[in-house]
Structure 1
Amino acid sequence: MTNKKINWAATILLAIGALAVLIPLYLTITIAFKTPEELSSNLFNLPKHWMVSNFTNAIKTTNFFVALKNSIFVSFFSVILTVLTNSMVAYAIARNMDKKFYKLLYYFFVSAMFIPFPIIMLPLVRQTSTWHLDNLFGLILLYVVFNLALNTFIYVGYIRTIPVELEEAAIVDGASTWRVFWKIIFPLLGPMNATVAILSCLYAWNDFLLPLVLLSNPDMATLPLAQYIFQSQFSTNYTLAFASYLMALAPMLIVYMFSQKWIISGVMRGSIK
């Protein structure tokens, strides 16, 4: 057997990175169950009395279930529309990359990944307000558009690995382009559809800045925005605040833990070409 050398530099960096994630997560969980007195006495100790009532109080004060309903509504429809529309756009580009227009269109979409949101934030708010899209439906539409850049990149790379002969055979049998896409290409995009759906869901669920600048009605607040409103009103009640943070964090944390392999493998497959 050959002894493999340990890369201590990489190991130390990975350990530091793991601690940078685990320590805040530990504090979030423990603070959510503490009393204010326990929080002020020692930050890192486990709670002596696990205060489940913090969560019930946080649910009442943050209007949690209304915000949860809004987040589920936005995340669900943004995922469905993103997968359906972005895959069609990417298919049209991938099968016409030999044409100058589609190649320019591909680079135009991909270049949008490098544009910071604050640059377009104010014009976007003005435009959505003028078109009466400063609501949950406008939020869904913007998520679909903003996801297009990354999704085009990973979809196109994957679609170009699918043999064109499959489509040519279907066209010879009389299938239209629309039928070819939905009956042949879209089912083959299963791994990429799963990756895009998970990434889009995480983005829509966790996003804070876009709902903050777009939504003016508090009844439309998503979970991240509801946490911000609660914190601004009860800035000193950290135990309730962290209980609300934990409830908002838990669903997507569980989703990511069980789906991270699809996310990583999908991005790797989409970057082949």
Structure 2
Amino acid sequence: MMRNKRLNIAAGWYAGMSILFIIFIFPFLLILLNSFKSRVEIIRNPLTLPKTLDFSNYTEAYNRMNFSYGLSNSLFITCVSVLAILVFSSMLAYYLVRWSNKISSIILLTLVSSMLIPFQSIMIPFVTLYGNLHMLNSRWALIFFYLGFGISLATFMYHGFIKTVPKDLEEASLMDGAGRVQVFWKIIFPILKPISTTIAIVDVLWIWNDFLLPSLVLLSKEQQTLPLSTYYFFGKYTSNYGVAMAALVMAIIPVIIFYLIMQKQIIKGVVEGAVK
């Protein structure tokens, strides 16, 4: 009886996981299948398999969306933004933990509170203010904005992790003549690798796929990211769905490759973070 009960529970668990997997993978499969179809085929029945594997949509999408420019812009903005978030948030969290006082508590509370404010509620004054300051239409300005919007969550996560790091390691290094900066970069920051990896992955997925903020900041086509480039195929009165689907697939592939490479680090970071 117990064995049959366990088998039934395992079967139900696998069935539930299989259903969830199908639900999550279905949108991507739908985009992938329709990327090989003509617009007429998609309109007639978007759920059927393509009659032939026609790669003309990919060729047209690559040329019309300036894929090389979009890819280079997305890579540059994502890498620099994530690196800046990791560096500044880890240093800020270290300061807030090791020099705990009323001011540091207020700073942390302010950062946590800022995460509750949706970007859409400050979008109009945000664009108006920085537009008047002539800080729009620049990749560096967008990186600065990502740092501002991403540092709150990253600092909060680092703060909880650094609190578990014993002070003995720092005190021993300080007694040997090391400065605070050396202690942080040579002792503390390597210990933060699990949480740094987790934050990096979360921020890469966020920044790479973000559409709203780049659409407000990057006005020229030469500086557009891949999500902005794919929007080119959706017009006001008509849409080239086949080419648009091909563009979406090309925009998604780099981040999927990144996720597959880093998936072991995700699990390791979660496990080590739980142990901490």
- Tell me, yes or no, whether TM beats 0.5: yes
Match of 1:239 in 2: 242
Q: TM-score, normalised by structure 2?
A: 0.89
Shift in Å, 1:240: 0.3
Match of 2:111 in 1: 109
Distance 1:265 1:150 in 2: 20
Specify which of 72, 81, 88 is matched with residue 84 of structure 2.
81
AA matched with 2:29: Y
For 1:226-272, what per-residue CA distance to the aligned partner results, in whole angstroms no more than 9, with x for missing partners?
A: 11133227843110000001000111122223324534553675588
Distance 1:56 1:226 in 2: 15
Instruction: Describe the SS at the equivalent of 1:6.
Output: helix
Distance 1:72 1:258 in 2: 16
Distance 2:168 2:132 in 1: 47
Specify which of 34, 50, 53 is matched with residue 50 of structure 1.
53
Shift in Å, 1:127: 2.5
Q: Could you tell me which runs of 5 or more consecutive residues in structure 1 were left unpaired when the two chains were aligned.
A: none
Structure 2 counterparts to residues 96-175 of structure 1, below 5 A: 96-97=99-100, 99-134=101-136, 135-175=138-178
Distance 1:233 1:66 in 2: 24
Quote the sequence identity (%). Answer: 39
For 1:132-169, what per-residue CA distance to the aligned partner results, in whole angstroms no more than 9, with x for missing partners?
A: 32111110011111111111121111111111100011
AA matched with 1:156: H
| Residues 127/7 of structure 1: CA separation in 2 closer, same or farther (3 Å cut) | farther
Instruction: Describe the SS at the equivalent of 2:187.
Output: helix
Instruction: Describe the SS at the equivalent of 2:234.
Output: helix
Match of 1:39 in 2: 42
Q: TM-score, normalised by structure 1?
A: 0.90
AA matched with 2:106: L
Matched, 1:192 2:165: no
Shift in Å, 1:16: 4.7
- Decide whether the 8 Å contact of 2:233 with 2:241 is kept in 1: no
For 1:107-127, what per-residue CA distance to the aligned partner results, in whole angstroms no more than 9, with x for missing partners?
A: 211222211001111121122
| Residues 244/194 of structure 1: CA separation in 2 closer, same or farther (3 Å cut) | same
Shift in Å, 1:14: 4.6
Instruction: Describe the SS at the equivalent of 2:199.
Output: helix
Distance 2:85 2:134 in 1: 21
Q: Could you tell me which runs of 5 or more consecutive residues in structure 2 were left unpaired when the two chains were aligned.
A: none
| Residues 10/148 of structure 1: CA separation in 2 closer, same or farther (3 Å cut) | farther
More moved, 114-123 vs 37-46: 37-46
Distance 1:202 1:129 in 2: 27
For 1:14-69, what per-residue CA distance to the aligned partner results, in whole angstroms no more than 9, with x for missing partners?
A: 55543332211111000001123432343222212101111010111112211111
Distance 2:147 2:72 in 1: 19
